Structure 1
Amino acid sequence: MDIGLTVGVDLDRLAASPTRFDFVELGVGAGSLPPEDVDPDRLDDALAGRDLVVHLPYSQPLTSYADEINDAIVAYQRRLLTTVGDFGAEKAVLHATSADRDDVEFRDVAADQLRRVAAAGRDAGVEVVVENVGHQHGGLQLSVLGEIARETDTPICFDVGHAYMEGGNKAITRFLRSHGDRISHLHCHDVRRRGDTHLPVGAGEVDYEAVSAEAAGFDGTVAIEVFTDDDALLVDSAERVANHLDATF
Protein backbone atom coordinates (compact mmCIF):
# COMPACT_ATOMS: atom_id res chain seq x y z
CA MET A 1 0.00 0.00 0.00
CA ASP A 2 1.31 3.45 -0.95
CA ILE A 3 0.52 6.54 1.12
CA GLY A 4 0.56 9.93 -0.54
CA LEU A 5 -0.53 13.49 -0.05
CA THR A 6 -2.92 15.85 -1.82
CA VAL A 7 -1.27 19.19 -2.64
CA GLY A 8 -3.99 21.16 -4.42
CA VAL A 9 -2.98 22.96 -7.60
CA ASP A 10 0.31 24.55 -6.54
CA LEU A 11 3.60 23.18 -7.85
CA ASP A 12 5.50 25.14 -5.21
CA ARG A 13 3.48 23.44 -2.48
CA LEU A 14 4.13 20.10 -4.16
CA ALA A 15 7.87 20.78 -4.13
CA ALA A 16 7.79 21.81 -0.44
CA SER A 17 5.75 18.81 0.72
CA PRO A 18 7.42 16.01 2.70
CA THR A 19 9.32 13.65 0.42
CA ARG A 20 8.54 10.84 2.85
CA PHE A 21 5.23 10.30 1.04
CA ASP A 22 5.14 7.75 -1.77
CA PHE A 23 3.19 9.99 -4.16
CA VAL A 24 1.53 13.37 -4.46
CA GLU A 25 -1.94 14.12 -5.81
CA LEU A 26 -1.97 17.31 -7.87
CA GLY A 27 -5.08 19.15 -9.05
CA VAL A 28 -5.14 19.91 -12.78
CA GLY A 29 -7.50 21.59 -15.20
CA ALA A 30 -8.73 24.90 -16.52
CA GLY A 31 -9.13 27.56 -13.87
CA SER A 32 -6.56 25.92 -11.61
CA LEU A 33 -3.46 24.38 -13.18
CA PRO A 34 -3.76 23.69 -16.92
CA PRO A 35 -1.44 20.72 -17.45
CA GLU A 36 -0.45 22.07 -20.84
CA ASP A 37 1.24 24.96 -19.02
CA VAL A 38 3.30 22.73 -16.73
CA ASP A 39 7.00 22.46 -17.46
CA PRO A 40 7.71 18.70 -17.30
CA ASP A 41 11.23 19.29 -15.97
CA ARG A 42 9.92 21.54 -13.18
CA LEU A 43 7.29 18.94 -12.32
CA ASP A 44 9.88 16.18 -12.26
CA ASP A 45 12.11 18.21 -9.93
CA ALA A 46 9.15 18.94 -7.62
CA LEU A 47 8.19 15.26 -7.45
CA ALA A 48 11.68 14.41 -6.18
CA GLY A 49 11.24 10.74 -7.03
CA ARG A 50 7.66 10.44 -5.80
CA ASP A 51 4.89 9.04 -7.99
CA LEU A 52 2.19 11.28 -9.48
CA VAL A 53 -1.58 11.05 -9.08
CA VAL A 54 -3.82 13.84 -10.38
CA HIS A 55 -7.23 15.18 -9.48
CA LEU A 56 -9.26 16.18 -12.52
CA PRO A 57 -11.07 19.57 -12.36
CA TYR A 58 -12.99 19.83 -9.08
CA SER A 59 -15.95 21.77 -10.46
CA GLN A 60 -16.27 20.19 -13.91
CA PRO A 61 -19.66 18.40 -14.18
CA LEU A 62 -19.60 14.87 -15.49
CA THR A 63 -22.96 15.21 -17.25
CA SER A 64 -25.32 17.69 -18.87
CA TYR A 65 -28.73 17.51 -20.56
CA ALA A 66 -27.25 18.10 -24.03
CA ASP A 67 -25.50 15.36 -25.98
CA GLU A 68 -23.16 17.91 -27.58
CA ILE A 69 -22.03 19.16 -24.17
CA ASN A 70 -21.56 15.61 -22.91
CA ASP A 71 -19.32 14.93 -25.90
CA ALA A 72 -17.34 18.09 -25.12
CA ILE A 73 -16.93 17.08 -21.46
CA VAL A 74 -15.48 13.73 -22.51
CA ALA A 75 -13.21 15.39 -25.08
CA TYR A 76 -11.92 17.82 -22.46
CA GLN A 77 -11.22 15.08 -19.92
CA ARG A 78 -9.55 13.02 -22.64
CA ARG A 79 -7.22 15.92 -23.44
CA LEU A 80 -6.31 16.31 -19.77
CA LEU A 81 -5.77 12.58 -19.32
CA THR A 82 -3.55 12.36 -22.39
CA THR A 83 -1.37 15.19 -21.09
CA VAL A 84 -1.02 13.89 -17.53
CA GLY A 85 -0.43 10.41 -18.91
CA ASP A 86 2.62 11.83 -20.68
CA PHE A 87 3.74 13.16 -17.28
CA GLY A 88 3.58 9.62 -15.90
CA ALA A 89 0.44 10.03 -13.79
CA GLU A 90 -0.76 6.65 -12.54
CA LYS A 91 -4.28 7.57 -11.40
CA ALA A 92 -6.73 10.41 -11.98
CA VAL A 93 -9.51 11.24 -9.51
CA LEU A 94 -12.85 12.20 -11.07
CA HIS A 95 -15.75 13.74 -9.11
CA ALA A 96 -19.02 11.81 -9.53
CA THR A 97 -21.48 14.58 -10.34
CA SER A 98 -24.67 14.75 -12.37
CA ALA A 99 -26.81 17.50 -13.89
CA ASP A 100 -29.76 15.92 -12.09
CA ARG A 101 -28.82 13.32 -9.52
CA ASP A 102 -32.45 12.77 -8.49
CA ASP A 103 -33.64 11.84 -11.99
CA VAL A 104 -33.56 8.04 -12.10
CA GLU A 105 -33.48 7.98 -15.91
CA PHE A 106 -30.55 10.40 -15.93
CA ARG A 107 -28.55 7.79 -14.04
CA ASP A 108 -27.89 6.04 -17.36
CA VAL A 109 -26.39 9.24 -18.77
CA ALA A 110 -24.05 9.49 -15.79
CA ALA A 111 -23.04 5.85 -16.22
CA ASP A 112 -22.34 6.34 -19.93
CA GLN A 113 -20.26 9.46 -19.25
CA LEU A 114 -18.27 7.65 -16.59
CA ARG A 115 -17.68 4.73 -18.94
CA ARG A 116 -16.36 7.08 -21.65
CA VAL A 117 -14.03 9.06 -19.37
CA ALA A 118 -12.66 5.86 -17.85
CA ALA A 119 -11.98 4.53 -21.35
CA ALA A 120 -10.15 7.75 -22.21
CA GLY A 121 -8.00 7.18 -19.14
CA ARG A 122 -7.15 3.65 -20.22
CA ASP A 123 -6.14 4.96 -23.64
CA ALA A 124 -3.81 7.41 -21.89
CA GLY A 125 -2.39 4.79 -19.53
CA VAL A 126 -4.05 6.43 -16.51
CA GLU A 127 -6.46 4.67 -14.15
CA VAL A 128 -9.54 6.88 -13.64
CA VAL A 129 -10.97 6.49 -10.13
CA VAL A 130 -14.40 7.99 -9.46
CA GLU A 131 -14.83 9.85 -6.16
CA ASN A 132 -17.92 10.08 -3.94
CA VAL A 133 -19.14 13.67 -3.48
CA GLY A 134 -22.74 12.93 -2.53
CA HIS A 135 -22.63 15.46 0.30
CA GLN A 136 -22.40 18.25 -2.29
CA HIS A 137 -25.07 19.64 -4.59
CA GLY A 138 -25.02 17.56 -7.74
CA GLY A 139 -22.89 14.81 -6.26
CA LEU A 140 -24.17 11.30 -6.91
CA GLN A 141 -25.40 9.53 -3.79
CA LEU A 142 -23.18 6.79 -2.41
CA SER A 143 -25.61 4.04 -3.40
CA VAL A 144 -25.84 5.30 -6.99
CA LEU A 145 -22.10 5.78 -7.29
CA GLY A 146 -21.46 2.23 -6.13
CA GLU A 147 -23.95 0.86 -8.65
CA ILE A 148 -22.66 2.72 -11.70
CA ALA A 149 -19.02 2.11 -10.79
CA ARG A 150 -19.75 -1.61 -10.69
CA GLU A 151 -21.84 -1.46 -13.86
CA THR A 152 -19.11 0.37 -15.78
CA ASP A 153 -16.23 -1.54 -14.17
CA THR A 154 -14.69 1.71 -12.91
CA PRO A 155 -12.44 1.79 -9.84
CA ILE A 156 -13.51 4.02 -6.95
CA CYS A 157 -11.78 6.74 -4.98
CA PHE A 158 -13.53 6.45 -1.62
CA ASP A 159 -13.38 9.70 0.33
CA VAL A 160 -13.95 8.71 3.94
CA GLY A 161 -14.75 12.24 5.10
CA HIS A 162 -17.19 12.89 2.26
CA ALA A 163 -19.02 9.67 3.11
CA TYR A 164 -19.24 10.75 6.74
CA MET A 165 -20.70 14.11 5.71
CA GLU A 166 -23.29 12.31 3.58
CA GLY A 167 -24.46 9.72 6.08
CA GLY A 168 -22.22 9.43 9.13
CA ASN A 169 -20.09 6.47 10.16
CA LYS A 170 -22.87 4.05 9.20
CA ALA A 171 -22.61 5.22 5.58
CA ILE A 172 -18.87 4.55 5.62
CA THR A 173 -19.40 1.02 6.90
CA ARG A 174 -22.23 0.26 4.45
CA PHE A 175 -20.27 1.42 1.44
CA LEU A 176 -17.12 -0.44 2.39
CA ARG A 177 -19.10 -3.63 2.90
CA SER A 178 -20.98 -3.29 -0.39
CA HIS A 179 -18.33 -1.86 -2.68
CA GLY A 180 -14.98 -2.22 -0.91
CA ASP A 181 -13.78 -4.55 -3.65
CA ARG A 182 -14.02 -1.70 -6.18
CA ILE A 183 -11.96 0.78 -4.18
CA SER A 184 -8.52 1.52 -5.64
CA HIS A 185 -7.80 4.86 -3.97
CA LEU A 186 -8.68 6.35 -0.58
CA HIS A 187 -8.93 9.96 0.51
CA CYS A 188 -8.40 10.13 4.27
CA HIS A 189 -9.07 13.08 6.55
CA ASP A 190 -11.31 13.81 9.50
CA VAL A 191 -14.63 15.65 9.77
CA ARG A 192 -17.06 17.11 12.26
CA ARG A 193 -20.80 17.12 11.54
CA ARG A 194 -21.01 20.87 12.15
CA GLY A 195 -19.21 21.30 8.85
CA ASP A 196 -15.51 21.23 9.72
CA THR A 197 -13.81 18.98 7.21
CA HIS A 198 -10.38 17.93 5.94
CA LEU A 199 -9.09 17.98 9.51
CA PRO A 200 -6.10 15.98 10.72
CA VAL A 201 -7.01 12.34 11.35
CA GLY A 202 -8.05 11.97 14.98
CA ALA A 203 -9.35 15.54 15.27
CA GLY A 204 -12.89 14.78 14.16
CA GLU A 205 -15.68 12.22 14.34
CA VAL A 206 -14.82 9.63 11.69
CA ASP A 207 -14.61 6.14 13.19
CA TYR A 208 -11.34 4.95 11.69
CA GLU A 209 -11.61 1.76 13.72
CA ALA A 210 -14.63 0.90 11.56
CA VAL A 211 -12.63 1.76 8.44
CA SER A 212 -9.91 -0.56 9.68
CA ALA A 213 -12.39 -3.38 10.26
CA GLU A 214 -14.01 -3.10 6.83
CA ALA A 215 -10.91 -2.29 4.77
CA ALA A 216 -8.64 -5.00 6.13
CA GLY A 217 -6.14 -6.04 3.48
CA PHE A 218 -6.57 -2.91 1.38
CA ASP A 219 -3.65 -2.73 -1.02
CA GLY A 220 -4.35 0.36 -3.10
CA THR A 221 -3.23 3.96 -2.73
CA VAL A 222 -4.14 6.26 0.15
CA ALA A 223 -4.00 10.05 -0.13
CA ILE A 224 -3.93 12.11 3.05
CA GLU A 225 -6.26 15.02 2.25
CA VAL A 226 -5.71 17.28 5.25
CA PHE A 227 -5.85 20.99 4.53
CA THR A 228 -2.74 22.22 6.28
CA ASP A 229 0.87 22.98 5.39
CA ASP A 230 2.04 21.75 8.80
CA ASP A 231 4.29 18.80 7.92
CA ALA A 232 4.03 17.34 11.43
CA LEU A 233 0.23 17.15 11.21
CA LEU A 234 0.38 15.61 7.74
CA VAL A 235 2.87 12.97 8.82
CA ASP A 236 0.91 12.25 12.00
CA SER A 237 -2.28 11.71 9.97
CA ALA A 238 -0.42 9.38 7.62
CA GLU A 239 0.97 7.38 10.53
CA ARG A 240 -2.49 7.09 12.09
CA VAL A 241 -4.05 5.90 8.83
CA ALA A 242 -1.20 3.44 8.26
CA ASN A 243 -1.74 2.05 11.75
CA HIS A 244 -5.47 1.63 11.13
CA LEU A 245 -4.82 -0.16 7.85
CA ASP A 246 -2.04 -2.33 9.27
CA ALA A 247 0.54 -0.73 7.00
CA THR A 248 3.84 1.04 7.47
CA PHE A 249 4.71 4.63 6.72
Structure 2
Amino acid sequence: MKLGFSPLTAGLSYPKSFDLAAQLGLFLEITYDQHEMDPRLPGARELAEMGRAAGVGFTLHLPFVDWNIASLVPPMQRLSLERTQRAILFGAEIGAECGVLHTGLVPLRLPEAVAQAHRLLNSTLEKLELAIPVALENLGLFQTDLLETPAELLALLEAHPRYGFCLDVGHAQIQQGPSGPQTYQRLLGHRLIHLHLHDNHGHQDEHLPCGMGTVDWAWVREALGGFAGTATLEVTGGEAGVRQSVALLLGKNLD
Protein backbone atom coordinates (compact mmCIF):
# COMPACT_ATOMS: atom_id res chain seq x y z
CA MET A 1 0.00 0.00 0.00
CA LYS A 2 1.16 3.51 -0.83
CA LEU A 3 0.19 6.03 1.86
CA GLY A 4 -0.31 9.79 1.48
CA PHE A 5 -2.10 12.73 3.03
CA SER A 6 -4.23 15.71 2.04
CA PRO A 7 -2.48 19.07 2.61
CA LEU A 8 -5.84 20.86 2.56
CA THR A 9 -7.37 18.71 5.31
CA ALA A 10 -4.18 18.79 7.38
CA GLY A 11 -4.04 22.58 7.05
CA LEU A 12 -0.46 22.59 5.75
CA SER A 13 1.13 24.72 3.04
CA TYR A 14 2.65 23.03 0.03
CA PRO A 15 6.26 23.68 1.16
CA LYS A 16 5.56 22.09 4.56
CA SER A 17 3.57 19.28 2.95
CA PHE A 18 6.30 18.37 0.49
CA ASP A 19 8.90 18.38 3.28
CA LEU A 20 6.78 16.15 5.51
CA ALA A 21 5.82 13.80 2.67
CA ALA A 22 9.45 13.41 1.59
CA GLN A 23 10.54 12.76 5.18
CA LEU A 24 7.89 10.10 5.80
CA GLY A 25 7.83 8.55 2.32
CA LEU A 26 4.27 9.67 1.60
CA PHE A 27 2.46 11.07 -1.44
CA LEU A 28 0.17 14.12 -1.50
CA GLU A 29 -3.51 14.14 -2.44
CA ILE A 30 -4.09 17.42 -4.25
CA THR A 31 -7.52 19.06 -3.96
CA TYR A 32 -8.42 20.40 -7.42
CA ASP A 33 -11.02 22.85 -6.06
CA GLN A 34 -8.26 24.59 -4.13
CA HIS A 35 -6.37 25.28 -7.36
CA GLU A 36 -9.50 26.63 -9.02
CA MET A 37 -10.13 28.99 -6.12
CA ASP A 38 -6.59 30.25 -5.47
CA PRO A 39 -4.58 31.47 -8.50
CA ARG A 40 -1.51 31.84 -6.27
CA LEU A 41 -1.12 28.07 -6.11
CA PRO A 42 1.22 26.34 -8.57
CA GLY A 43 -0.13 25.17 -11.89
CA ALA A 44 0.05 21.56 -13.00
CA ARG A 45 3.53 21.82 -14.57
CA GLU A 46 5.04 23.57 -11.56
CA LEU A 47 3.36 21.14 -9.17
CA ALA A 48 4.68 18.18 -11.14
CA GLU A 49 8.19 19.64 -10.99
CA MET A 50 7.88 20.20 -7.23
CA GLY A 51 6.92 16.55 -6.88
CA ARG A 52 9.87 15.36 -8.96
CA ALA A 53 12.29 17.53 -7.00
CA ALA A 54 11.00 16.23 -3.65
CA GLY A 55 10.51 12.62 -4.77
CA VAL A 56 6.83 12.89 -3.86
CA GLY A 57 3.96 11.48 -5.94
CA PHE A 58 0.30 12.47 -6.13
CA THR A 59 -3.31 11.47 -6.14
CA LEU A 60 -6.06 13.99 -6.89
CA HIS A 61 -9.42 14.79 -5.37
CA LEU A 62 -11.63 15.82 -8.27
CA PRO A 63 -14.06 18.79 -7.86
CA PHE A 64 -16.75 18.73 -5.19
CA VAL A 65 -17.24 22.40 -4.16
CA ASP A 66 -20.27 24.09 -5.82
CA TRP A 67 -20.35 21.04 -8.08
CA ASN A 68 -22.91 18.39 -8.97
CA ILE A 69 -22.59 16.04 -11.96
CA ALA A 70 -26.14 14.80 -11.23
CA SER A 71 -27.66 18.30 -11.09
CA LEU A 72 -31.19 18.64 -12.45
CA VAL A 73 -30.27 22.15 -13.67
CA PRO A 74 -28.66 21.75 -17.12
CA PRO A 75 -26.11 24.63 -16.88
CA MET A 76 -24.89 23.38 -13.50
CA GLN A 77 -24.68 19.81 -14.74
CA ARG A 78 -22.72 20.82 -17.87
CA LEU A 79 -20.34 23.03 -15.88
CA SER A 80 -19.72 20.23 -13.36
CA LEU A 81 -18.92 17.84 -16.20
CA GLU A 82 -16.52 20.37 -17.76
CA ARG A 83 -14.78 21.04 -14.45
CA THR A 84 -14.39 17.34 -13.80
CA GLN A 85 -12.87 16.75 -17.23
CA ARG A 86 -10.41 19.63 -16.75
CA ALA A 87 -9.47 18.21 -13.36
CA ILE A 88 -8.78 14.77 -14.83
CA LEU A 89 -6.43 16.36 -17.37
CA PHE A 90 -4.77 18.29 -14.51
CA GLY A 91 -4.30 14.97 -12.75
CA ALA A 92 -2.67 13.43 -15.82
CA GLU A 93 -0.29 16.39 -16.08
CA ILE A 94 0.91 16.04 -12.48
CA GLY A 95 1.16 12.27 -12.81
CA ALA A 96 -1.58 11.45 -10.29
CA GLU A 97 -1.97 7.74 -9.64
CA CYS A 98 -5.74 8.16 -9.40
CA GLY A 99 -8.52 10.69 -9.04
CA VAL A 100 -11.37 10.52 -6.50
CA LEU A 101 -14.87 11.38 -7.69
CA HIS A 102 -18.06 12.07 -5.74
CA THR A 103 -21.33 10.77 -7.16
CA GLY A 104 -23.64 13.78 -7.06
CA LEU A 105 -26.47 15.34 -5.13
CA VAL A 106 -30.24 15.53 -5.46
CA PRO A 107 -31.79 17.93 -2.91
CA LEU A 108 -35.28 17.39 -4.36
CA ARG A 109 -36.10 13.91 -3.05
CA LEU A 110 -39.08 13.26 -5.32
CA PRO A 111 -39.14 9.95 -7.25
CA GLU A 112 -38.85 11.51 -10.71
CA ALA A 113 -36.13 13.90 -9.57
CA VAL A 114 -34.09 11.05 -8.10
CA ALA A 115 -34.57 8.94 -11.24
CA GLN A 116 -33.46 11.83 -13.46
CA ALA A 117 -30.41 12.47 -11.28
CA HIS A 118 -29.41 8.81 -11.67
CA ARG A 119 -29.77 9.10 -15.45
CA LEU A 120 -27.60 12.22 -15.48
CA LEU A 121 -24.95 10.60 -13.29
CA ASN A 122 -24.76 7.57 -15.56
CA SER A 123 -24.57 9.78 -18.64
CA THR A 124 -21.71 11.81 -17.14
CA LEU A 125 -19.71 8.73 -16.21
CA GLU A 126 -20.04 7.54 -19.82
CA LYS A 127 -18.91 10.90 -21.23
CA LEU A 128 -15.81 11.47 -19.12
CA GLU A 129 -12.48 10.69 -20.76
CA LEU A 130 -10.29 9.02 -18.17
CA ALA A 131 -6.69 10.08 -18.59
CA ILE A 132 -6.00 8.67 -15.09
CA PRO A 133 -7.74 5.93 -13.07
CA VAL A 134 -10.82 7.34 -11.33
CA ALA A 135 -12.36 5.95 -8.13
CA LEU A 136 -15.95 6.60 -7.04
CA GLU A 137 -16.15 7.47 -3.34
CA ASN A 138 -18.84 6.31 -0.91
CA LEU A 139 -20.79 9.18 0.65
CA GLY A 140 -24.29 8.74 2.07
CA LEU A 141 -23.66 11.34 4.78
CA PHE A 142 -26.58 13.63 4.06
CA GLN A 143 -30.10 13.34 2.69
CA THR A 144 -28.98 15.28 -0.39
CA ASP A 145 -26.41 12.64 -1.42
CA LEU A 146 -27.74 10.83 -4.47
CA LEU A 147 -26.49 7.35 -3.55
CA GLU A 148 -27.83 6.19 -0.21
CA THR A 149 -26.62 2.58 0.16
CA PRO A 150 -23.58 0.39 -0.58
CA ALA A 151 -25.78 -1.62 -2.97
CA GLU A 152 -26.45 1.49 -5.07
CA LEU A 153 -22.74 2.22 -5.41
CA LEU A 154 -22.09 -1.42 -6.31
CA ALA A 155 -24.74 -1.26 -9.05
CA LEU A 156 -23.20 1.95 -10.40
CA LEU A 157 -19.73 0.45 -10.51
CA GLU A 158 -21.00 -2.71 -12.18
CA ALA A 159 -22.62 -0.54 -14.86
CA HIS A 160 -19.37 1.41 -15.37
CA PRO A 161 -16.41 -1.00 -15.34
CA ARG A 162 -13.90 1.75 -16.22
CA TYR A 163 -14.13 3.12 -12.68
CA GLY A 164 -12.66 1.86 -9.44
CA PHE A 165 -13.83 2.28 -5.86
CA CYS A 166 -12.55 4.63 -3.14
CA LEU A 167 -13.47 3.37 0.32
CA ASP A 168 -13.81 6.28 2.73
CA VAL A 169 -13.77 4.53 6.10
CA GLY A 170 -15.01 7.58 8.01
CA HIS A 171 -17.99 8.06 5.72
CA ALA A 172 -18.79 4.36 5.88
CA GLN A 173 -18.89 4.39 9.69
CA ILE A 174 -21.22 7.41 9.79
CA GLN A 175 -23.56 5.97 7.18
CA GLN A 176 -23.60 2.31 8.19
CA GLY A 177 -22.40 2.20 11.80
CA PRO A 178 -19.24 0.58 13.21
CA SER A 179 -19.31 -2.26 10.67
CA GLY A 180 -19.82 0.12 7.74
CA PRO A 181 -16.26 -0.12 6.38
CA GLN A 182 -16.47 -3.92 6.45
CA THR A 183 -19.81 -3.81 4.60
CA TYR A 184 -18.38 -1.68 1.80
CA GLN A 185 -15.21 -3.78 1.66
CA ARG A 186 -17.22 -7.00 1.41
CA LEU A 187 -19.44 -5.72 -1.40
CA LEU A 188 -16.97 -3.60 -3.37
CA GLY A 189 -13.51 -4.78 -2.38
CA HIS A 190 -12.97 -6.32 -5.82
CA ARG A 191 -13.11 -2.79 -7.28
CA LEU A 192 -11.05 -1.08 -4.58
CA ILE A 193 -8.15 1.07 -5.84
CA HIS A 194 -7.97 3.87 -3.25
CA LEU A 195 -8.94 4.68 0.34
CA HIS A 196 -9.63 7.77 2.42
CA LEU A 197 -8.60 7.29 6.04
CA HIS A 198 -9.75 9.48 8.93
CA ASP A 199 -11.54 9.02 12.24
CA ASN A 200 -14.81 10.12 13.85
CA HIS A 201 -17.23 9.12 16.62
CA GLY A 202 -19.89 7.79 14.29
CA HIS A 203 -22.13 10.85 14.13
CA GLN A 204 -20.49 13.47 11.90
CA ASP A 205 -17.63 13.84 9.42
CA GLU A 206 -14.97 15.04 11.88
CA HIS A 207 -11.82 14.04 9.92
CA LEU A 208 -9.93 13.35 13.13
CA PRO A 209 -6.43 11.86 13.14
CA CYS A 210 -6.52 8.06 13.13
CA GLY A 211 -7.01 6.74 16.66
CA MET A 212 -8.90 9.79 17.95
CA GLY A 213 -12.37 8.38 17.25
CA THR A 214 -14.07 5.00 17.11
CA VAL A 215 -13.08 3.58 13.69
CA ASP A 216 -11.80 -0.01 14.02
CA TRP A 217 -8.20 0.60 12.95
CA ALA A 218 -7.14 -2.95 13.77
CA TRP A 219 -9.56 -4.13 11.07
CA VAL A 220 -8.32 -1.43 8.67
CA ARG A 221 -4.68 -2.49 9.14
CA GLU A 222 -5.63 -6.12 8.55
CA ALA A 223 -7.69 -5.25 5.47
CA LEU A 224 -4.81 -3.24 4.02
CA GLY A 225 -2.30 -6.02 4.59
CA GLY A 226 -2.24 -7.15 0.96
CA PHE A 227 -3.61 -4.00 -0.67
CA ALA A 228 -1.46 -2.76 -3.56
CA GLY A 229 -3.29 0.54 -4.19
CA THR A 230 -3.16 3.99 -2.61
CA ALA A 231 -4.60 5.36 0.65
CA THR A 232 -4.89 9.01 1.67
CA LEU A 233 -5.01 10.37 5.20
CA GLU A 234 -7.74 13.06 5.21
CA VAL A 235 -6.93 14.13 8.76
CA THR A 236 -6.91 17.42 10.61
CA GLY A 237 -4.31 18.31 13.21
CA GLY A 238 -1.48 19.55 11.05
CA GLU A 239 1.85 17.72 11.02
CA ALA A 240 1.10 16.07 14.37
CA GLY A 241 -2.16 14.64 13.05
CA VAL A 242 -0.43 13.18 10.01
CA ARG A 243 2.40 11.73 12.07
CA GLN A 244 0.01 10.19 14.61
CA SER A 245 -2.05 8.59 11.85
CA VAL A 246 0.97 7.20 10.01
CA ALA A 247 2.36 5.80 13.25
CA LEU A 248 -0.91 4.06 14.08
CA LEU A 249 -1.27 2.56 10.60
CA LEU A 250 2.35 1.47 10.27
CA GLY A 251 2.84 0.55 13.93
CA LYS A 252 5.95 2.61 14.62
CA ASN A 253 6.98 5.80 16.40
CA LEU A 254 7.77 8.66 13.99
CA ASP A 255 8.75 11.34 16.56
Structure 1-normalised TM-score?
Answer: 0.82
Are 2:186 and 1:181 equivalent residues in the alignment? no
Contact 1:98 / 1:110 at 8 angstroms: preserved in 2?
no
- Unpaired segments ≥5 residues, structure 2: none
Shift of the alpha carbon at 1:236?
2.9
Equivalent of 1:227 in 210, 223, 236: 236
Shift of the alpha carbon at 1:186?
0.5
Structure 2-normalised TM-score?
Answer: 0.80
Q: How does 1:42-121 map to 2 (within 5 A)?
A: 43-45=48-50, 48-59=54-65, 60-67=67-74, 69-100=76-107, 102=109, 103=111, 104-105=114-115, 106-117=117-128, 120=129
Q: Matched residues in 1 for 2:237 and 2:37: separation?
A: 19
Are 2:24 and 1:18 equivalent residues in the alignment? no
Shift of the alpha carbon at 1:85?
1.2
Q: Measured at CA, do residues 18 and 68 of structure 1 come closer, stay the same or move farther in structure 2, by a change above 3 Å?
A: closer
Are 2:248 and 1:240 equivalent residues in the alignment? yes
- Unpaired segments ≥5 residues, structure 1: 244-249
Structure with higher RCO (Cα < 8 A, 6+ apart): 2
Q: Which amino acid aligns with 2:2?
A: D
RMSD: 2.8
Contact 1:35 / 1:83 at 8 angstroms: preserved in 2?
no
Shift of the alpha carbon at 1:79?
1.7
Q: Measured at CA, do residues 115 and 212 of structure 1 come closer, stay the same or move farther in structure 2, by a change above 3 Å?
A: farther
Contact 1:190 / 1:201 at 8 angstroms: preserved in 2?
yes
Shift of the alpha carbon at 1:195?
3.2
Farther off after superposition, 176-185 or 94-103: 94-103
User: How many residue pairs end up in the alignment?
Assistant: 237
Q: Matched residues in 1 for 2:125 and 2:8: separation?
A: 23
Shift of the alpha carbon at 1:35?
10
1:112-169 residue CA offsets vs partner (Å, 9 max, x unmatched): 223333xx2x2x2x11111122103532224222221222121111110011111212
Contact 2:62 / 2:99 at 8 angstroms: preserved in 1?
yes
Q: Which residue of 1 aligns with 2:135?
A: 129
Q: Matched residues in 2 for 1:193 and 1:110: separation?
A: 28
Farther off after superposition, 20-29 or 70-79: 70-79
Identity rate of aligned residues, in percent?
Answer: 24
Contact 2:70 / 2:103 at 8 angstroms: preserved in 1?
no
Secondary structure (helix, strand or coil) at the match of 1:201 reads coil
